[in-house]
Structure 1
Amino acid sequence: MESPRAGRFTPTALMLGNLVTGCSVLAPAGMLPELSAGLGISIHAAGLLITFGAITLCIGSPLTAWLTSRIERRVLLTTTLAVLALGNLASAFAPDYASLLVIRLVMLAVGALYTPQAAGTAALIVPAERRGSTIAYIFLGWSLAAAVGLPLITFIASRYGWRAAYGEIGALGCVSFLLLLVRLPAGLKGTPVDLKTWSEVGRDRTILLLLAITMLQMSGQFAVFTFMGPLLKKLTEASPDAIGIVFGIYGVCGFLGVVVATRIVDTWGPYRTSLLFTCLLLAGITVWALSAGTLVLMAIAVAIWGLGFASTNSMQQVRLVAAAPPLAPATVALNTSVLYIGQAIGSAVGGLLFARDLLHSTGFVAVGFVVLALVLVLVSRPRPAVAAPG
């Protein structure tokens, strides 16, 4: 049921919070060389900021969903954004790698709340027939983080240093915090998450299958994405500006993918929409693997891959909410958790391959993960309803 107090721009305020969250999570990927040079560490060590951050997020998402499920949503979401803003500002002044890592882990332990709780809040402020498209719209924030945030981070870091890039994200977080404080109505509360909820989730085969799809999709993408900048530099000698353009292509196509998914999901249905964008994801990463070494072809691959980047995840959220609406607070939190497990697995595998200079192998390993995800998407096809005997 739609909340009468929800303003017209409430979904946009929630979406911008996802933009801040996405930039906070993805930022190191856009400035690995600058972090490496500025902190006196290897590219692989800088990439561990993403790996360890993802581990923190995957543990934090279901844990914080359980601990905070009875807290009013405006208080919860605005507090989370305030922590993200302050964490990024503190990162800009971190004196060394250890301090930066500790700040990041604390910031993301709290930040793990935002994405699943924002998706759950969408179900409270719009009617059921608009729920799918609204959740997909809120996830545009992640696409914008890749489309606008990462290229800007790469641009700023390459010219003014990584500290300035963190300051930029912190400032954006402050603006987003204020907007959400003004636009999100007070008094919104979701269904409390208790231990019984988790046991019901664990017994649902469809939910477990959907969670496995999310993990495999993200593992495949982050094996390459975490080190995309250094891979482009080593394989094609791309400049920082060229790398920023490739990140921009990735994000813009991700944005377009979610826009298209948002438009077609209510008529196509979540399964067919998910299948389409998983196929695009696989096609893009396959072209990347086959064309490694040629900048133009790799940029085209990133464009195709980008179409499926955020849209596949937003469709996973929609499918989970539709599979068991009463369990949505738990399943959306778990989906976010396994998303970060996928990021941790992918970035760890990609880091090991990069450290061993197995640059061409990275793309083919990513393809393997996404092929498995596509197989599970096909297995998860909803069974047609059987008419009751008359």
Structure 2
Amino acid sequence: MLGNVLTGCSVLAPAGMLADLAHGLDVSIRTAGLLITFGAAALCVGSPLTAWLTSRIERRILLATTLAVMACTNVASALAPDYASLLAIRLVMLAIGALYTPQAAGTAALIVRPEKRGSTIAYVFLGWSLAAAVGLPLITFIASHYGWRAAYGAVGAFGVLSFVLAAWRLPHGLKGVPVDLKTWAELARNRIVVLLLLITMLQMSGQFVVFTFLGPLLSKLTQVGSDAVSIVFALYGIGGFIGIVIATRVVDNWGAYNTSVLSTALVLAGIAGWAICAGSYPLMAGAVAVWGLGFASTNSMQQVRLVAAAPPFAAASVSLNTSVLYIGQALGSAVGGALYGRELLHGIGFAATAFLIVALALVILSRPRKPVSVA
């Protein structure tokens, strides 16, 4: 879970300090936003590729090494002399960091009993909520007061701590099912797996149309400063923390499908509220809080459902989910960047809403079929 805090901070950090990066590196905000777009591209390629290349490595060694690399590359980011160097370091960071979230979910599934997998995977994914609730506002605060280099340095220091704890506390001898070409073929033939992956992509595309440029959009639409932006990031993260805690407690009784419908509906309600209320800081902040209630639990429920859909191939299916998640991030940030570059600031929220409407419709269509009893 703590490793996911580091992963979440590493992935989301540029969104929390986009204006500071643009100013410090002497580039436009849209160009700074490409750190997220290209980073997401590295993640979507890296996740299934690294899952295949590392499937025979013992989980404790694999996860601890991944955390060490993320810690070192965050420190290197703090020392980057220019934009090109920072982008190159980020691509290396995320190509390797793509391993962590899916392999952490697969490792959690190995540790606990099958009936506890849903709540355990949701708990492990709680790290992403903490990254948004605590890490992202802190990154925004540190960057606005002490500079973006200090923010990267703080993430790197936390990465060292995460590495030490993972190396010390994770059980020895955990290995998943080796991933080979037959694994990908089996998953491609599984219709529910394919549908769930499409849902993940649409959920993330819609969110990152707005999220990538959340800070600059708030500043332009409501004329607020960096501290007010930090408060909105905090509301988003606190909402995510509350949402994933609730999801963790109810998923074993409600089922992952019902929990997924609720969380996706909350994200849609929040983003639609953002679009409709654009220009009013209090209303936009409230909409982000509602959005936050669903953002973390949507993806954790997707992981739970994928594990249930093909248990022997959990590590591979979750890595594919991570891959399409980052395809969604890249697509969403590209759409948001194109609209932002044309000053279509109000249209960004409505474009995001359209993605989420389709995502919710597909979640409803993915309802598990009850087995037909034969007399």
Tell me which interval the TM-score lies in, with the shorter structure as reference length. Answer: over 0.9
Query: Hey, what's the Cα distance between the residues in 1 that align with 2:315 and 2:17?
Result: 34
Q: 1:197-253, CA deviations, whole angstroms, 9 ceiling, x for partnerless residues?
A: 000000111000000000000000000000000000000011100000000000000
Within the alignment, does 1:86 sit opposite 2:106 as a pair?
Answer: no
Q: How does 1:129-208 map to 2 (within 5 A)?
A: 129-208=115-194
Query: Hey, what's the Cα distance between the residues in 2 that align with 1:186 and 1:171?
Result: 25
Secondary structure at the residue paired with 1:69?
Answer: coil
Within the alignment, does 1:229 sit opposite 2:215 as a pair?
Answer: yes
Match of 1:23 in 2: 9
Within the alignment, does 1:36 sit opposite 2:17 as a pair?
Answer: no
Match of 2:231 in 1: 245
Within the alignment, does 1:369 sit opposite 2:355 as a pair?
Answer: yes
Task: For 2:62, give the aligned amino acid.
Answer: L
Query: Hey, what's the Cα distance between the residues in 2 that align with 1:139 and 1:176?
Result: 15
Q: 1:276-319, CA deviations, whole angstroms, 9 ceiling, x for partnerless residues?
A: 11111111111000000000000010011000100000000000
Give the fraction of aligned pairs with identical amino acids, expressed as a percent.
72
User: Displacement, 1:368?
Assistant: 0.4
Q: 1:113-136, CA deviations, whole angstroms, 9 ceiling, x for partnerless residues?
A: 000000000011111111110000
Within the alignment, does 1:97 sit opposite 2:83 as a pair?
Answer: yes
Length-normalised TM-score, structure 2: 1.00
Secondary structure at the residue paired with 1:62?
Answer: helix
Task: For 2:230, give the aligned amino acid.
Answer: G
Task: For 2:326, give the aligned amino acid.
Answer: Y
Within the alignment, does 1:56 sit opposite 2:42 as a pair?
Answer: yes
Task: For 1:305, give the aligned amino acid.
Answer: W
Gaps of 5+ in 1: 1-14
Query: Hey, what's the Cα distance between the residues in 1 that align with 2:158 and 2:202?
Result: 31
User: Displacement, 1:324?
Assistant: 1.0
Match of 1:11 in 2: none
Match of 2:271 in 1: 285
Match of 1:3 in 2: none
RMSD: 0.5
Length-normalised TM-score, structure 1: 0.96
User: Displacement, 1:384?
Assistant: 1.2
Task: For 1:264, give the aligned amino acid.
Answer: V
Query: Hey, what's the Cα distance between the residues in 1 that align with 2:265 and 2:109?
Result: 28
Q: After TM superposition, what 4+ stretches of structure 1 lie above 6 angstroms from structure 2?
A: none
Q: 1:15-43, CA deviations, whole angstroms, 9 ceiling, x for partnerless residues?
A: 00000000000000000111011000000
Match of 1:337 in 2: 323
Query: Hey, what's the Cα distance between the residues in 2 that align with 1:98 and 1:303?
Result: 35
Q: 1:147-179, CA deviations, whole angstroms, 9 ceiling, x for partnerless residues?
A: 001100000000000000000000000000000
Query: Hey, what's the Cα distance between the residues in 1 that align with 2:153 and 2:193?
Result: 39
Match of 1:379 in 2: 365
User: Displacement, 1:385?
Assistant: 1.5
Q: How does 1:292-311 map to 2 (within 5 A)?
A: 292-311=278-297
User: Displacement, 1:388?
Assistant: 2.6
Secondary structure at the residue paired with 1:215?
Answer: helix
Gaps of 5+ in 2: none
Query: Hey, what's the Cα distance between the residues in 2 that align with 1:266 and 1:143?
Result: 20
Given candidates 350, 355, 358, the residue that maps to 2:336 is: 350
